[in-house]
Amino acid sequence: MSPQRAAQPAIALTRTVVDASDADTVVERLRPLAELAPVFAEQAQILPYAAVMANAGDDEPHSQGEPVSRSGLLRHITPEFAQVAAQVLASGLAHWFQIRALGDAVSDVAPDATAFAHRDANFSLVLMGGSEAAVDALRARLEPFTEGTYLSFDSSLRPERIELAWPPQTLARLRRLKAIYDPESVFDDNFAISPAAAPAGSSGGIR
């Protein structure tokens, strides 16, 4: 979703993949989306998986500059959240605001099986703009509805982002693993976590 311009209505852009090779099935699955609101334009193609992923290639157009981005994880889209999201869009301070679907196979994995613990989130939010202060203020309005953040969509490297990204138990486990496999913090780029401190009097690695 991008902000409304002048007297034009707001426009929502969706890229939806239907895992089916039958055209009638694809149309049937997409029809509910098309019926949500008046359609400005639409395009449907039967493509192999590799071609779907190729949309993030190096072809034109090329973006200019680095956007400011923040993210959040959301369990449900409630009327209260939708109202605040509409106000965020209407502010004109967000270049675009994206809602990505999670759930399904993501929630089939146990929360403590991997580094990604927020398996009960059904949606991922991405907010982008050109000003750190403005985007942070908009993100603060959405924060009461979110739990955690997805660091791949967060451009801020402030240390507190680490605390937002993982629940305390998960972060503690990752710090222990860091102390075992990377105690010297060789891997220290982007959102690097610090290793757990060795217990007092210990001369060996953490187990």
Asked whether 4 and 10 are in contact (CB, 8 A), the reply is yes
Instruction: Measure the CA–CA gap between 78 and 184, rounded to whole angstroms.
Output: 45
Tens digits of residue pLDDT in 24-40: 999 999 999 889 889 98
Mean pLDDT, the chain, whole residue set: 87
Under CATH, to which class is 65-165 assigned?
Answer: alpha beta
Place of tokens 């981005």: 69
Tens digits of residue pLDDT in 98-122: 999 898 888 999 999 999 999 999 9
Sign of the dihedral defined by the CA atoms of residues 89, 92, 93, 96, in that order: positive
CATH 3.40.462.20 segments of the chain = 65-165
CA R_g for the chain: 21
Lowest mean pLDDT among 12-21, 61-70, 106-115: 61-70
What confidence score (pLDDT) does residue 186 get? 93
Distance from the first to the final alpha carbon of the chain: 47
Tens digits of residue pLDDT in 133-188: 999 999 999 999 999 898 888 998 888 888 888 999 999 999 999 999 999 999 98
Cα 79 to its chain centre, rounded Å, is 21
